[in-house]
Amino acid sequence: MDMAYLAAGLGAGITAIGAGIGIGMIGKSAMEGTARQPEASNDIRTSMLISAAFIEGVALFGEVVCFLLAVK
């Protein structure tokens, strides 16, 4: 049972790192896009927020699955 807790902690950590990297890449791309086309900044911002929300949702789902597997 101790290995399940270890696996859940590692899985949750990897999920959080992946979400952080993903959101960082979205922010980088949005900043580059806004710098290249300032007139499209509102569209870029909207797309960035929707994508970040999807990444956060997937990360939350991954962490919940890790913790549920540890409790089982």
Per-residue pLDDT of the chain (72 residues; tens, 9 = 90+): 678 889 889 999 999 999 999 999 999 999 999 999 999 999 999 999 999 999 999 999 999 999 898 887
The confidence score (pLDDT) of residue 28 equals 97
The confidence score (pLDDT) of residue 70 equals 83
Residues 26, 51: contact at Cβ < 8 Å? Answer: yes
Superfamily name and number for 2-71: F1F0 ATP synthase subunit C (1.20.20.10)
Q: What is the pTM of this model?
A: 0.83
Q: How many CB atoms lie within 10 A of CB 67?
A: 15
The confidence score (pLDDT) of residue 21 equals 97
Output DSSP code: residue 40.
G
The confidence score (pLDDT) of residue 33 equals 96
